[in-house]
Homo-oligomer: A and B are copies of this chain.
Amino acid sequence: MKPLTSSLQSSLLPIFLLFVTTSVSLKVPRLSPTGGTFLHGNDWTQGRPSEASSPGFDPKDLQTFYYNQTLDHFNFRPDSFNTFQQRYLINSKHWGGSNISAPILAYLGAEEAIDIDISITGFLPENAIHFQALQIYIEHRYYGESMPFGSMEEAYKNASTLGYFNSAQAIADYAEILIHVKKQLHAENSPVIVVGGSYGGMLASWFRLKYPHVALGALASSAPILYFDDIVPPETGYYFVASRDFREASETCYQIIKRSWTEIDNIASKPEGLASLSMKFRTCRPLTNSSELKDYLESMYAHTAQYDIPPRYPVTVVCGGIDGASSTNDTLTKIFAGVVAYEGNRSCYPIPRNGTESGVGWHWQTCSDIVVPMGISNDTMFPPYKFDLNKYIDNCKALYGVPPRPHWVTTYYGGHDIKLTLNRFASNIIFSNGLRDPYSSGGVLDDISDTVVAVHTKNGSHCLDILRSNHTTDPDWLVNQRKIEVRIINGWIAKYYADLQALK
């Protein structure tokens, strides 16, 4: 594995890019375990409303700390005792204090530097006053400044240094830091609510399951915790939902996209076909194969579906472009009109090369414990793709020298028959989803019990409730979803205070 000097994680690219990375990395084992095309640059920001930082966010209120973290919590070999400096930030501006056991809202970092999340996350700063809560934001190991072995170059060197980089170690880190902070603040009785989105949402729900003595409850936004083993059939998975989004926006748009792939291949197979495609799609450099274009388009559709955010609704924008090109019958001209509608009119469009990839941290994670078997069935608008676990494993082994453990997540955290196993166990988890988010296909969409509940919105997209700030243009259903979440958490905390009085 070549040394890495830069990555998405160390830059300040907008968070959603990483989720694109996620979606793509999860689909593309046909090229490399996680490989495929990853999108660079700022081209995609147009899809979202302006939200560079949350209105509740003021960097001056945040204090940065470093915790001397154990490298390996589950082993007692001499090298397990190595430590690294793990970054966390605290905002105590609105905290009611330990005297009244005021709550702690803990944001569990995911696959990026924690600064990125802090600058965007709305849920914590916007609700801190209401809860009189301390806010703590903890960076995930191997991202940002929380780098074992002294540097990213060392940490990402090979499987021997990357081996400690997995979700079980990460949530053990969070447990240690939260226990430490509570002790430092004499806040042992303060209830902790953990919050996370996407992979971070998985971590939040898993944290409540594994460390109920540290966190009273979890808000797990857009957490596809069921996207493991064979729990989600490809027929109803990520690409099915993304296609449904397009179909709901426009049947004609959906059909045009669906037939565009063979059209691309047809042209590409002709003499000068790639040059013709390059011209038609105004690419900044000549295409070297048709996959580059297809991956680019797939990623755009996936991304717009995942972040189909009001008030713009990017899926509608793309379909508006496609359907609006009524002066032509040419499929690919229509498709390009969709690109222009979404990306804006540009002199050229930067199509990444195959295998270009920046989410190196996430890449490793999908080759260790986070193995999401994502296929594409025949009845979507995307080119079908059968997920081949053996090939996936081989690709990971070729890359890192070690295989992934595709069944470890369901072994350690469960997932199969989740209602049967958790309906009389566990409590205080909100699984929030937007049903337009393709990842909702791997989410918990039905209540498991009275206190392990699903809160979803028909028109919502990925992590809309917690990773975006309140906005004047927010539709009622979104405002309402956030209100429901706060009301449920209020209920947990009220019961906890009653218990605290009765039992301690």
Q: Interface residues, chain A, CB within 8 Å of chain B?
A: 70, 72-78, 80-81, 159-160, 162-166, 168-169, 172, 175-176, 179, 188, 209-214, 368-369, 401-403, 405, 408, 410-428, 451, 495, 499-500, 503-504
Contacts and interface: CB of A to CB of B under 8 A. Distances in A.
A214 B209 CA distance: 14
B76 A165 contact: yes
A411 B81 contact: no
A425 B159 contact: no
Given A75-B164, A419-B503, 8 more contacts: A74-B166, A75-B169, A76-B368, A77-B160, A77-B163, A212-B414, A425-B428, A426-B426
A308 to B, nearest CB: 32
Contacts of A209: 212
B499 A401 contact: no
Given A175-B411, A427-B424, A503-B423, A169 B74 contact: yes
B499 A423 contact: yes
A335 B267 CA distance: 100
A166 B76 contact: yes
Given A81-B402, A427-B425, A176 B411 contact: yes
B163 A417 contact: no
Contacts of A425: 212, 425-428
A417 B76 contact: no
20 contacts: A74-B168, A75-B75, A75-B164, A76-B163, A76-B369, A77-B160, A78-B160, A80-B402, A81-B403, A176-B411, A188-B416, A213-B417, A213-B418, A213-B421, A420-B503, A420-B504, A423-B503, A424-B427, A424-B428, A425-B426
Contact of A212 (B368, B421, B503): B421
Best-buried of A73, A74, A165 by chain B (most CB within 10 Å): A74
A273 B279 CA distance: 104
B428 A500 contact: no
Nearest to A413: B213
Nearest to A160: B77
Query: Which residue, A76, A209, A405, A415, has most C-beta atoms of chain B within 10 A?
Result: A76
A363 to B, nearest CB: 13
B74 A424 contact: no
Contact of A78 (B172, B401, B405, B422): B401
Contacts of A401: 78
A34 to B, nearest CB: 15
Given A420-B499, A424-B495, A412 B175 contact: yes
Contacts of A403: 81
B163 A500 contact: no
Contact of A499 (B166, B408, B424): B424
A18 to B, nearest CB: 21
A172 B81 CA distance: 21
A427 B451 CA distance: 14
A205 to B, nearest CB: 13
B503 A75 contact: no
A401 B495 CA distance: 46
B163 A80 contact: yes
A75 B74 contact: yes
Contacts of A172: 411-412
Contacts of A451: 424
A211 to B, nearest CB: 8
Contacts of A212: 209, 414, 421-422, 425-426
B78 A75 contact: no
A75 B76 contact: no
A195 to B, nearest CB: 18
A495 B70 CA distance: 41
Nearest to A161: B77
Contact of A500 (B410, B411, B413, B420): B420
B499 A213 contact: no
Nearest to A426: B425
Contacts of A176: 411
Contact of A417 (B75, B77, B418, B504): B504
A212 to B, nearest CB: 4
Contacts of A499: 420, 423-424
A393 to B, nearest CB: 12
A207 to B, nearest CB: 12
Nearest to A178: B411
A179 B408 CA distance: 11
A451 B423 CA distance: 13
A381 B415 CA distance: 52
Contacts of A175: 411-412
Contacts of A211: 412, 414
